[in-house]
Structure 1
Amino acid sequence: MNHSRIYIGCAGWSIGRDFAAQFPAQGTHLQRYALKLTGVEVNSSFYRPHRRTTYERWAQSVPRDFRFSVKIPKRITHDLRLAGCEAEVETFLEQCSGLGERLGCLLVQLPPSLAFEQTVTEHFFRMLRERCSEPIVLEPRHESWVNARQLLARYQIAQAAVDPSRISTDRTPQGASVVKYWRLHGSPRIYHSPYGPDYLEALATQLQTVQTESLWCIFDNTANGVALADALALLGLLDSN
């Protein structure tokens, strides 16, 4: 299968001892990771800022076709709750733009307590869209966000498919068709459980039917390192078809 514009990877690029033998021996963790997988989700940006020069260094460490999905800071989504955050958005975008063409998309993960509010949400996404042309992916976790479909379409915002599901519309990708995005957190034990062969085979079959410009599948079951095994297995299944 052609991997162009198909980005399979993990939330972070740490390589645990159990999987080290499956990666090249030389280079940084990111360099080794990027020679086997096609994308990565930068979760550390959610917790702390990174200098533009750090993003530039990361971009220079990976192959030309590799892409980064960068998580918007917690300060914006959880503390300010999407309101009054223009300065914070400007700072974040200036930093992560250091990735250049390897910036694949931005991820907006919302807290479970944040309900959909039309005025606040529209102002946020209009402001973000004025400053950012890259694909934007939303992971809402409050059921009221099922009412945001028209707004997401207006601003070309995609909604991630999530496992385990949090709301009634997140079992399949929603919103903008320019990007389709899966975030798989591990099931039944979130962040810990691996996905079995049956699940991965069904997922591979599903991904092969998706029509989109950019397809992402990120494994966030990183607590025991099993995300790497799942990502590599999924890539192997896609390669074999």
Structure 2
Amino acid sequence: MTRRSCSDHSAGTVRIGTASWSIPKVHAVLFPAKGSHLERYGAVFNAVEINSSFYRPHRRATYERWAASVPEDFRFAVKVPKAITHERRLRGVGDLLDRFLSEADGLGPKLGPLLVQMPPSLRFQPDITDHFLRDLRSRTEGGVVCEPRHGSWFTREVESLLVELRIARVAADPAPVVGADEPGGWRGLSYYRLHGSPRIYYSAYNAEYREALAKVLTSDAAAGAQTWCIFDNTAAGAATDDAVKTRRLVQAG
């Protein structure tokens, strides 16, 4: 049974945010002084990626509370639990998918894409992976984006499957394999995950990179894609500064 209807029709919109809504003290001046961290974050950004769902479940009421804390145009991307991708490795996960989708549905119309990050060792196996992706798509009509990190995913056959199922492939930096730095799969959704380079999760991006990125994001949105850019270089607080500056560049046109 389909758990979720298509909730985000923001084709042509650029959504920029970070992985989690923590606000580093060094950047606190960029946000309102009052409110919860999420309320303050939502006053500046129009999107966030929930990573905590990867590690542990959240009650539906928690998702509902989060949705009530942000503006109407705000959207949450939600990371699929590692119990599905890393522990069961996509096998026999119908019960886990049902639970996760039922919980995340608490976000209502503010639910954006579901992010499925694969472990680096997980090969594309037609009998297992194809079944999982089709099963996931049968349970949700909303946005789905996957982040494979094994070279076997980067083939014409897999690309065709992703297009058929309307599943986008993440553009990641640094790229774990050749081609992973470009978005792929269904091109109605672009999703950039920027982990920091050269030091993953720590390094900030320079002005030249951000300027080039802003042009790419604007171009994707102009082509009609739902366009997401999530900075995951959060370990030392660089993500917030990168996201703010990139958002300003996009808004400036």
With the shorter chain as reference, the TM-score category is over 0.9
Q: Tell me the distance in 2 between the aligned counterparts of 1:80 and 1:54.
A: 25
The CA deviation at 1:33 is 0.3
Amino acid at match of 2:15: Y
Corresponding residue number in structure 1 for 2:131: 123
The CA deviation at 1:205 is 1.2
2:167 to 144, 148, 157: 157
Q: Tell me the distance in 1 between the aligned counterparts of 2:113 and 2:174.
A: 22
SS in 2 for 1:88: helix
SS in 2 for 1:168: coil
Aligned-CA RMSD value: 1.3
Amino acid at match of 2:241: A
2:244 to 220, 229, 232: 232
Matched, 1:110 2:123: no
Dislocated runs of 4+, deviation >6 Å: none
Amino acid at match of 1:193: S
User: More displaced, 103-112 or 210-219?
Assistant: 210-219
Deviation digits for residues 157-214 of structure 1, max 9, x if unmatched? 1001000001222111101122100000000100000001000001111112112331
Sequence identity of aligned pairs in percent?
A: 50
Aligned residues: 240
Deviation digits for residues 13-69 of structure 1, max 9, x if unmatched? 000110111100010000000110110000000000000000000000000000000
- Where does structure 2 lack aligned partners over 5 or more consecutive residues? 1-9
Corresponding residue number in structure 2 for 1:90: 98
Greater RCO structure (CA 8 Å; 6+ sep): 2
Q: Tell me the distance in 1 between the aligned counterparts of 2:224 and 2:116.
A: 20
Amino acid at match of 2:161: L
Indicate if the aligned counterparts of 1:135 and 1:178 stay in contact, CA closer than 8 A: no
Indicate if the aligned counterparts of 1:192 and 1:221 stay in contact, CA closer than 8 A: yes
Matched, 1:60 2:68: yes
Corresponding residue number in structure 2 for 1:40: 48
Corresponding residue number in structure 1 for 2:232: 220
SS in 1 for 2:120: coil
1:100 to 82, 97, 108: 108
Q: Tell me the distance in 2 between the aligned counterparts of 1:5 and 1:62.
A: 17
User: More displaced, 207-216 or 223-232?
Assistant: 207-216
The CA deviation at 1:3 is 10
Amino acid at match of 2:18: C
Corresponding residue number in structure 2 for 1:31: 39
**Structure 2 length as normaliser, TM-score?**
0.93
The CA deviation at 1:4 is 6.5
Amino acid at match of 1:164: P
Q: Tell me the distance in 1 between the aligned counterparts of 2:100 and 2:113.
A: 13
User: More displaced, 185-194 or 141-150?
Assistant: 141-150
**Structure 1 length as normaliser, TM-score?**
0.97
Indicate if the aligned counterparts of 2:11 and 2:224 stay in contact, CA closer than 8 A: no
Q: 1:25 to 1:14 in 2, by over 3 A?
A: same
Indicate if the aligned counterparts of 1:4 and 1:65 stay in contact, CA closer than 8 A: no
Indicate if the aligned counterparts of 1:180 and 1:212 stay in contact, CA closer than 8 A: no
